[in-house]
Amino acid sequence: MMKFFKIFFNFCVIFSIFYSAIFGALSLTDWVDYSNGVQYANGNLNATVNDLNNKYNLWKSNYVTSSGAGGYQRVMRPEDGNDTVSEGIGYGMLLAVYFNDKTLFDNLWNYKQLKNDGQGLMNWHIDSNGNVIGAGSASDADFDIAFALLKAQERWGGTYGATANSEINKIATQDINASDYHVKPGDAWDDYEYPSYFMPAFFRQFGQATGTTTFWNNVISKCNSNLSAARNSSNGLVDETITHTGGRRYDNYKYNSCRVPWRYATDYVWNGDSFAQGQINLMAGFFNGKGASNIVDGYDVATGNNTGSIHNAAFTGPAACAMMVSSTYQNALNNNFYPETNNFSIPSTYYNASLQMLSLILMAGYMPAHIGSSDTPTPTPTGGTGGSGLLDDMEDGNNQNNWGGYWYTYDDLGSSGNSYVVPWSAARWQASGQAEQPFFMQSPGRTGAGYAARMTGYVTTTFQYGFVGMGTALLDPKGPVDLSSCTGVKFWYKGDGKSYRVKIPSSHPNFLQGEGDNHYGYAFVSGTNWTQMDLLMSSLTQEPYWGTSVLRSDALSMATDIQFQTVGQPQASIDLWIDEIEFYGCSSYPTPAGTATDTP
C-alpha cells in the first residue's frame, strides 16, 4: 500500500491525544496504514479525525440512550419505537472501542449482560421498556460483541480478554454447527445462513485468542466455500440468505447482504487473504460501474439489475469499502465513494448511520486489526506460606528454576512429525544418536541485560497438528504442585507476532490421555517488544472439541509444568522469548530449590 502522510504536525498529534483523553475519541495515533490494498487519503489527517469524532458524537446523541437500559446504556432504533437489537449493541461496542469510549463500552456490555438468554448470549430483540420480544441470539451480534471485547483488552487492558475468550467459547458451541463448521443464524435456530454473518477477519482472531485456529480456519473455509457457490461470479453480489451448501434462496441483495463488502474488505486489508481480495474486487468493479451516487438499496443477484430505489449509507458505505482492493480504485475511493458515504446525514436511521460510521473508520485507517499495545494493570501479589511465587527470573543463566524443576523443549517427533525447535528436544537428541545437552538460556533478558528463555524453529504439517514448545517442570523430580488457590501467573514475553499458548499440564487422574491431553491454557499473540502478561487462573480454559473435560480446580490442584507452545501450522519460522515467571495469590509455594546448576 502507498504510504500516506507519515509526517504529522506535532501540535496536531498532541491536540488529538489530549482530545481523546478528555472526551473518548479517535486520536491521530490511532491511524494505521493497512498492509494490503489502499485506503482513503485526503492530505489532511487532522481534518479527517476531527470530522470522524464529530460524527461519532452525533451518532451517540441520536442512537444511544439510558432510558430502559437498567441503569446502563443501549443503542436504540428511533425509527422502530426506540427498541434495541443485539446487532446494535455489537455495532455500538465496536465503535466505542475504536473511538476509545470506555464508559459507553462498559455500559453497553453491562446492558447486554442483563439481556442474555439461557446460553449466555444476548437475546436479539428488546423493546424500549427492556422486555425481551425476540428470544435467542443473532450470530452477527455475538461475533461483533466478542471481537469488540478482544479490542478492549488491547485498548484498556484489564480482564476484557478473558471475558472475550468466554464469549468466543460460547459462540463456538452455540453459533457454529460443528458437523461442517457452517455459521448458524443464532443459537436458537439453524435453517439457513446469512452471508453477511461471515466475518473471516474476526474469526481469525477468535482462533488466535483461544488457541483454536484449526476450528476457526475450518469455519472460514466453509464461509468462503458457501459464498463462492452462492455469489454471482461476475459481480460478487450474494443473496440475503443461502442454504448450508451455498444455494441461493431469493436472489435478493438487500439490507443484510449489503454488509458483505465491508466484512470482506476488512479481511483483505488486515490479512491480505486472496479469497477476500477476489470477493471485493468483483464488487468494486460492479459498484464503481454504478457510480457512488447511484447505489440503491437492492439488486437482483442474477442480473445485477436494480430492485431498490433508495440511496443510503447502509449500501453505499460497505460498497465503498470494496474500493480498498487496489490502486485501480484509489481515485474513486478518494473522490467519490468516501465523500459520498461521509456526506450522508447521521440523523437518519440507526442502521444506516451505524454502517456509515463503521465503513468510514475502516476506509480512513482508524479500524486497525490490533489497537496499540495490550499492557495490563498488574495486581499486587499476595504472599503465601513456604517459598516465593517467583518461579524463575532466568538471571542465573542456568536451566533450573527456583522451585527445582528444569527447562526443556519438546516437539512432534513422537507423533511422526518433523517440526524443529532450538534448543533441541530430548527426542531430537535421541534421534541424532548424540548425548543430550541441557536447555540453555539466551541473552539479553527483558531488562536489556541478563537472560531469558527462548525457542526458535519451525512447524510442519507432517504431523497434522504439528507443534513445538518449551517449558519447565515445576519440581524435580517432576511432581504435582497445588496451584488451585492461586490468583494468577505473570510473565514477560516477546516474539515474532505469531500466536502461542501458555498452558499448565496436570497429573490429575481425570486426564485420561496423560501429558498429551487437553490441559488448561490461554492463547496470546507475541509482539516484537517485551510485554507483561498478567493472567488470572480463572481465564485458563481447555480447547473445545477434543481431549478429556476436567474441572479447572482439579487440574490446577496437581499442576506439573508451565509450557509455551505454538498455535497453528505450518509455521515457516517461530521465535518466542519468556522472562520472569511468577505465580501470585497462592496459599502456599514450594520451598525454593538449592543452588541451581545445569543438568543434561
CATH number of residue 526's parent domain: 2.60.120.430
Cβ–Cβ under 8 Å, residues 237 and 258: no
Task: Indicate which residue of 87, 101, 154, 411 is catalytic.
Answer: 87
Cβ–Cβ under 8 Å, residues 165 and 112: no
- 340 CB contacts (<8 Å, ≥6 apart)? 292, 293, 316, 320
| Inter-CA distances, 444 with 176, 394, 578, 600, Å | 44, 10, 11, 23
Q: What was the pLDDT predicted at 598?
A: 44
* Closest alpha carbon to 538 in 469, 589, 489, 582: 489
Q: Please identify, among 331, 364, 397, the residue that sits at the C-terminal boundary of a domain.
A: 364
Q: Is the pLDDT of residue 496 over 90?
A: yes
pLDDT digits (tens, 9 = 90+) for 337-350: 999 999 999 888 99
* pTM (predicted TM-score): 0.63
Q: Is the pLDDT of residue 170 over 80?
A: yes
CA distance 221 to 238: 17
Q: What was the pLDDT predicted at 9?
A: 34
Task: Indicate which residue of 30, 83, 117, 140 is catalytic.
Answer: 140
Highest mean pLDDT among 29-33, 110-114, 594-598: 110-114
Total number of residues shown for the chain: 600
| DSSP H/E element including 102 | helix 102-114
- Both 390 and 360 in a single domain? no
Cβ–Cβ under 8 Å, residues 367 and 358: yes
Domain that holds residue 164: 10-364
Q: What is the mean pLDDT of residues 459-466?
A: 95
Catalytic status, residue 140: yes
Q: What was the pLDDT predicted at 219?
A: 97
Cβ–Cβ under 8 Å, residues 60 and 348: no
Q: Please check whether residue 53 lies inside any domain of the structure.
A: yes
- Interior/surface letters 87-113, b for 16+ CB within 10 angstroms, e for the rest: bbbbbbbbbbbbbbbeebbbbbbebbe
Tell me if residue 110 falls in helix, strand or coil: helix
Q: Please check whether residue 241 lies inside any domain of the structure.
A: yes
- Both 78 and 160 in a single domain? yes
Q: Is the pLDDT of residue 382 over 60?
A: no
Q: Please check whether residue 266 lies inside any domain of the structure.
A: yes
**Domain at 268, CATH number:** 1.50.10.10
Catalytic status, residue 87: yes
Q: Please check whether residue 540 lies inside any domain of the structure.
A: yes
- Both 421 and 347 in a single domain? no
- Both 338 and 421 in a single domain? no
Q: Please check whether residue 205 lies inside any domain of the structure.
A: yes
Tell me the residue ranges of DSSP E strands in 308-417. Answer: 385-386, 390-392, 407-411
- Both 200 and 91 in a single domain? yes
Q: What is the mean pLDDT of the chain?
A: 90
- Both 327 and 403 in a single domain? no
Confidence of residue 387 (pLDDT cuts 50, 70, 90): low
User: Cell 446504556 identifies what position?
Assistant: 73
- Both 174 and 273 in a single domain? yes
- Both 254 and 147 in a single domain? yes
Q: What was the pLDDT predicted at 92?
A: 98
* Closest alpha carbon to 197 in 206, 213, 212, 185: 185
- Both 318 and 451 in a single domain? no
- Both 201 and 172 in a single domain? yes
Q: Please check whether residue 542 lies inside any domain of the structure.
A: yes
Q: Please check whether residue 2 lies inside any domain of the structure.
A: no
- Both 305 and 422 in a single domain? no
Q: Is the pLDDT of residue 203 over 90?
A: yes
Q: Is the pLDDT of residue 190 over 90?
A: yes
- Both 357 and 393 in a single domain? no
First to last CA, the chain: 50
Q: Please check whether residue 456 lies inside any domain of the structure.
A: yes
Tell me if residue 193 falls in helix, strand or coil: strand
580: left (phi over 0), alpha (psi -120 to 50) or beta: left
For the chain, the domain total comes to 2
